[in-house]
């Protein structure tokens, strides 16, 4: 009866009756209700030779758009980080894990580290309570490199208010992104303006006076929906389980999308963050363990003046694209990022022994950092993506190039304990601290008593007698080519390509000990300043190839392997003052991926082997370095994410990582064979969520998760260890509809057994690093309205 008939379909919101009338308009058919949830279709005018069709009941699961704010999926099918094209993850011969929006909501992720804990082989690194976010991936630190929508930006914190999902690419991505550490990269994908209006307001509250307000609005600005907008806002005000640490942060992120026509679009977004968050240098190690003191102990200086480190960041992102036809598309964009930090901190000394040798009771040495730091980062890029066939072979080609430029400037007063410093030295304090020993720099390890310091003195040193200046300039040009080949009905796929980089660096450093005092340490007032620093320059070129092979015998299973090379410059000088050779890396990886339950559950198993050479290594206490280091990491990783049933979702991981120093780790070779710091040999996680399907409990969600890491080394000398830990989190939430408005209430309890554990910041340092305690038992509640 319906053969040859067509319907104009539905676009919008309608009652059942309105929808049926619109669907059947002009078809000569009509409808009748045979039950409350069943409809019979029949011809509009009864005919003797036509009978009414039987009633049909249709059931199914909603298929969400990737950007739908109500998307409940734990598994993501497509991502861009691995290939810079929107490719199915099952067809990508590399290990890529995606943490989608629903997981971020369920776990109430308020910092980026809350997301990456769900990825195998990723360990959090000390970040001084937020000045740059760093991770260890497959045994190698990311060196504060942060990516936003595939573009590298300055090392500043991510606010999660406008984050749609987090993508973690394992292994070197140098072929596409240039200077990337061989372990992998973290790419934040932001939310986009939507054609359908959506508004939400969320209030979060929790332990240690945590309060966070998040608001978002998106929708069309024109009737034809060609111009859409988005506005994300977040305000955070909190104290901390750490003494003298509190945070006040404002984040605003407006965005516009203009669909000029069906083939051309323009995007403009801005992010501004203003934050006051003091630097926290944690707890030092004694012997082979972190000191056994209360987790709140802070060896900084109490008082609001010493714990105000204001900073701000502004980011501008402009990009556009044009599709010439269904197969060829051009993209171009520019990103600018400007950051300013003002450090006003009394901190634990790291460049000298943290504890006074032979002191009884033990004393923690402290120093001062009153420094202004600024950075400017600019990125521009272009991509030409095309699809074509040569016979039975399908090609997905990417041609592109990018330019990355950054300049960091730092200047101010930076001092540590110096015995018998001359009275006219910047390391000497007038007044009660006679002898020039900087008595202020020592506090008792177990019972710190903080002296009454004159804040004005340090501020005057920063302004009138600065002793520390640093400049680092980097410009990076890259051209790359990639071809993703499919053949034999897409069962066999080959990904090949290469990139050539031209890298130019210039850096300089100056301090009063060498430039502003004479041979006897007497102050001569001749501070060189930033404009007088002699820059050491370096230029390098390198070709980074990449080859991947994938075989997909069935739609639910893929076997893959890849070989990748990469490089990175070394910001250091040898004993003869010459630039250091660039670091190089090589990776081999093999594994398989699978999809289950109609693609709702995905798995990834990978074996990897990475060698890194020319690692910059300190060869003494004078700051000199040499490329005598070599490191190797190998292991197995497993990631599973998605839905098992309509109500049961999970994300679970496991990683075995054997990361070691295989070349001389220092001038004597004493570190050869040592494990690399902050890398757990065994680690994993499991997070289970159940959404009740019974009508009486519809809207109720509950979940529980465990995060496990084995023992980790604290530094490259393996002189102390961080104990392993098991942390257990849980949550419960309830969502209900109030007319067109959805109300969601949620309660998360993290570290419910109050486990004591630590993160360290020593992936690159020969010294005993600062160790930050992990969060103790924390409770966070949330009330959210959206419509």
Of all residues in the chain, the percent with pLDDT exceeding 90 is: 52
Comparing 386 with 599, the larger pLDDT belongs to: 386
46-55, 61-70, 325-334, 676-685: segment of lowest average pLDDT: 46-55
185-189, 477-481, 547-551, 756-760: segment of lowest average pLDDT: 756-760
Omega before 51 within 30 of 0, i.e. cis: no
400-404, 576-580, 778-782: segment of lowest average pLDDT: 576-580
Judged against a pLDDT cut of 50, whether residue 782 lies above it is answered with yes
Residue 419 pLDDT = 42
Q: How many residues does the chain have?
A: 787
Judged against a pLDDT cut of 60, whether residue 665 lies above it is answered with no
**pLDDT, tens digit (0-9, with 9 covering 90-100), for 221-237:** 999 999 999 999 999 99
Rg of the chain over Cα atoms, rounded to whole angstroms, equals 29
Judged against a pLDDT cut of 50, whether residue 621 lies above it is answered with no
Cα angle: 309, vertex 311, 312; to 5 degrees: 165
Mean pLDDT within 695-717: 92
466-480, 599-613, 682-696: segment of lowest average pLDDT: 466-480
6-10, 135-139, 411-415: which is most confident = 135-139
Whole-model pTM: value is 0.86
Locate CATH 2.170.130.10 in the chain: 78-188
Cβ neighbourhood burial of 527 (10 Å; 0-12, 13-18, 19+): buried
Mean pLDDT within 704-713: 95
Average pLDDT along the chain = 85
Residue 579 pLDDT = 63
Comparing 742 with 530, the larger pLDDT belongs to: 742
Residue 128 pLDDT = 65
126-130, 190-194, 283-287, 574-578: which is most confident = 190-194
**pLDDT, tens digit (0-9, with 9 covering 90-100), for 712-762:** 998 888 888 999 999 999 999 999 999 889 999 999 999 999 999 998 866
Locate CATH 2.40.170.20 in the chain: 189-786
Residue 429 pLDDT = 41
Contact residues for 693 (Cβ-Cβ < 8 A; gap 6+): 646, 647
Check whether domain 189-786 has CATH 2.40.170.20, yes or no: yes
Mean pLDDT within 702-712: 96
28-37, 287-296, 773-782: which is most confident = 773-782
60-69, 144-153, 445-454, 633-642: segment of lowest average pLDDT: 60-69
Mean pLDDT within 188-194: 96
**pLDDT, tens digit (0-9, with 9 covering 90-100), for 415-462:** 765 443 444 444 444 333 333 334 456 788 999 988 888 888 788 878
Comparing 100 with 181, the larger pLDDT belongs to: 100
User: Contact, 186 vs 135, CB < 8 A?
Assistant: yes
Third-level CATH fold of 78-188? Ferric Hydroxamate Uptake Protein; Chain A, domain 1 (2.170.130)
User: Contact, 428 vs 413, CB < 8 A?
Assistant: no
Judged against a pLDDT cut of 60, whether residue 36 lies above it is answered with yes
User: Contact, 709 vs 167, CB < 8 A?
Assistant: no
| Nearest CA among 727, 781, 784, 775 for reference residue 239 | 775
| Nearest CA among 130, 135, 138, 163 for reference residue 149 | 163
Give 391-449 as a 3 state SS string: CCEEEEEEEEEEEEEEEEEEEEEEEECCCCCCCCCCCCCCCCCHHHCCHHHEEECCCCC
**Max Cα separation, the chain?**
115
> What's the distance, CA 668 to chain centroid?
36
């Amino acid at each position: 009866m319906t053969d040859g008939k067509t319907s104009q379909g539905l676009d919008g919101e309608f009652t059942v009756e309105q929808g049926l009338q619109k669907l059947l308009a002009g078809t000569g058919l009509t409808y009748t209700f045979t039950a409350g949830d069943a409809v019979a279709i029949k011809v509009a005018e009864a005919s003797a030779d036509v009978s009414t069709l039987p009633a049909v009941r249709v059931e199914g699961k909603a298929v969400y758009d990737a950007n739908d704010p109500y998307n409940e999926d734990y598994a993501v099918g497509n991502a861009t980080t691995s290939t810079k094209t929107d490719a199915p993850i099952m067809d990508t011969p590399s290990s890529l894990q995606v943490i989608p929006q629903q997981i971020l909501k369920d776990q109430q992720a308020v910092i980026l580290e809350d997301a990456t804990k769900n990825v195998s082989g990723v360990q959090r690194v000390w970040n001084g309570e937020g000045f740059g976010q760093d991770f260890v991936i497959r045994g190698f630190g990311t060196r504060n490199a942060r990516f936003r929508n595939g573009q590298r930006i300055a090392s500043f914190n991510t606010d999660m208010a406008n984050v749609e999902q987090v993508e973690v690419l394992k292994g070197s991505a140098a072929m596409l992104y240039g200077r990337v550490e061989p372990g992998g990269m973290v790419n934040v994908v932001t939310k986009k303006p939507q054609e359908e209006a959506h508004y939400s307001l969320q209030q979060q509250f929790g332990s240690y006076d945590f309060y966070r307000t998040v608001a978002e609005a998106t929708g069309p600005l024109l009737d034809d929906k060609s111009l859409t907008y988005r506005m994300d806002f977040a305000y955070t005000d909190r104290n901390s389980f750490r003494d003298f640490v509190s945070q006040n942060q404002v984040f605003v992120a407006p965005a516009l999308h203009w669909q000029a026509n069906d083939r051309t679009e323009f995007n403009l977004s801005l992010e501004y963050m203003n934050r006051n968050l003091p630097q926290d240098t944690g707890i030092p190690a004694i012997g082979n363990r972190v000191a056994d003191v209360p987790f709140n102990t802070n060896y900084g200086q109490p008082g609001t003046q010493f714990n105000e480190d204001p900073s701000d960041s502004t980011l501008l992102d402009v990009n556009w694209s044009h599709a010439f036809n269904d197969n060829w598309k051009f993209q171009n964009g520019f990103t600018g990022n400007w950051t300013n930090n003002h450090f006003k901190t009394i901190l634990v000394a790291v460049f000298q022994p943290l504890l006074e040798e032979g002191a009884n009771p033990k004393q923690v040495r402290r120093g001062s950092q009153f420094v202004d730091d600024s950075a400017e980062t600019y990125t521009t890029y272009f991509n030409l993506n095309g699809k074509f066939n040569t016979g039975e072979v399908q090609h997905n080609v990417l041609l592109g190039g990018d330019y990355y430029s950054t300049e960091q400037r730092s200047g101010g007063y930076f001092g540590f304990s110096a015995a018998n410093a001359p009275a006219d030295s910047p390391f000497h304090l007038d007044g009660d601290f006679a002898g020039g020993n900087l008595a202020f720099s020592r506090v008792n390890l177990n019972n710190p008593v903080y002296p009454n310091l004159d804040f004005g003195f340090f501020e005057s040193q920063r302004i009138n007698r600065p002793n520390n200046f640093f400049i680092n300039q980097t410009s990076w040009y890259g051209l790359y080519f990639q071809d993703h080949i499919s053949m034999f009905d897409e069962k066999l796929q080959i990904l090949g390509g290469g990139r050539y980089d031209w890298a130019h660096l210039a850096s300089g450093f100056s301090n009063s000990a060498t430039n502003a005092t004479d041979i006897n340490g007497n102050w001569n007032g001749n501070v060189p300043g930033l404009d007088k620093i002699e820059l050491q320059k370096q230029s390098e070129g390198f070709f980074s190839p990449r080859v991947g092979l994938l075989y997909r015998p069935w739609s639910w299973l893929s076997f893959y392997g890849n070989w990748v090379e990469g490089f990175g410059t070394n910001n250091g000088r040898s004993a003869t003052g010459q630039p250091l050779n660039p670091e190089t890396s090589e990776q081999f990886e093999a594994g398989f991926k699978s999809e289950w339950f109609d693609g709702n559950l995905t798995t990834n198993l990978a074996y990897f082997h990475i060698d890194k050479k020319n690692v910059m290594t300190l060869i003494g206490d004078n700051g000199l370095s040499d490329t005598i280091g070599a490191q190797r990491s190998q292991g197995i990783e497993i990631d599973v994410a998605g839905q098992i049933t309509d109500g049961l979702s999970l994300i679970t991981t496991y990683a075995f990582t054997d990361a070691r120093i295989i070349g001389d780790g220092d001038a004597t070779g004493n570190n050869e064979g040592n494990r690399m710091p902050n890398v757990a040999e065994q680690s994993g996680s499991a997070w289970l969520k159940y959404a009740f399907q019974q009508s009486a409990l519809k809207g109720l969600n509950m979940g529980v998760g465990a995060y496990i890491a084995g023992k980790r080394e604290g530094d490259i000398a393996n002189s102390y260890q961080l104990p392993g830990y098991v942390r257990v989190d849980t949550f419960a939430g309830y969502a209900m509809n109030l007319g067109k408005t959805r109300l969601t209430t949620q309660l998360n309890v993290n570290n419910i057994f109050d486990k004591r554990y630590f993160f360290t910041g020593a992936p690159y340092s020969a010294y005993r690093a600062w160790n930050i305690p992990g969060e103790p038992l924390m409770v966070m509640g949330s009330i959210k309205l959206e419509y």
